Amino acid sequence: MNLFPDEGKRLLEALLLCSAEPLTLKVLTEITDYESSEILDLLSEIQRDYQQQSRGFALTEIAGGWMFATYPEHAPYIEKLVKPRLSSLSQAALEVLSIVAYRQPITRAEIEEIRGVSCDSSLGTLLDRALVEEKGRKDAPGRPILFGTTTDFLKYFGLSSLKDLPAFPSLPAGGEDDRSTDHTICS
């Protein structure tokens, strides 16, 4: 050992700060010039220091290692910090979502045919937000990707299944089977 005790605590603090994962005793003995027992002593000293000074975070033992962790009381603030704030869905994204919801599984080209405009960015948003997902490929030339709604979609709209989507009184009955093969929406 070639450092003063206080130096040891400082070094361990620095290492703990730079590690996104729990630091194991093994890694710490490899990196530093300390013995395991010394490291354990230093770690519990740091732990005690932080508690006594009522710092904003603590040194905790987790998953076979040590890491700095915050207190539950600060969770709501940390949530605001790390969670991206989502803007509301654009009209275009809502349109694409409604088409996918009622006509799934459906290909990108089929959505575009119904809307008459491209849907790349809206579909991207819906995929990112996990409202829509890929549901295999259509047995057609080019084997295009089929899209459908996710379980998250049901969850957020409070539906227990797709059958709970509001019905369309004006939509002609029948044609449920061939719906997936061609475009009978307005026939």
Partner 1 sequence: MDYQVVLPVFEGPMDLLLHLIDSNELDIYNIPIAFITGQYMDYLNQAQEIDLTLSGDFVLMAGTLLTIKARTLLPKRTQPSEEEGAPEDPRDELVEKLLEYRLYKEKASEFKAMEHSQSRIFFREVDDKSLLKLFPAPNPIGKLTTEDLSKTFMQILESMISRERTLQLPKETVTIQARIAFLLKVIRQQPGGIAFRSLLGGDSLRTVVTTFMALLELLHRGRIWARQKEAFGEIYIFYNDLYRKEGDPGEFVS
Contact footprint for partner 1 (CB under 8 A) = 14, 16-21, 57, 60, 62, 67-72, 74-75, 78-79, 82-86, 88-89, 91-92, 94-95, 97-99, 101-102, 114-118, 129-131, 152, 155-159, 164-166, 168-172, 174-175, 185-186
Contact code string over 48-87 relative to its own copies, x by CB under 8 A? -----xxxxx----------x-xx--x--xx-xxx-----
Distances (CA, A) of 113 to 76, 93, 99, 107, 185: 44, 15, 11, 10, 11
Q: Which is nearer to partner 1, 35 or 172 (CB)?
A: 172
140 binds its own copies (CB under 8 A): no
Least Cβ distance, residue 20 to its own copies (angstroms): 8
The torsion region of residue 67 among left (phi > 0), alpha (psi -120 to 50) and beta comes to beta
Q: Which residues are at the interface with its own copies (CB under 8 A)?
A: 6, 9-19, 23, 27, 30-32, 53-57, 68, 70-71, 74, 77-78, 80-82
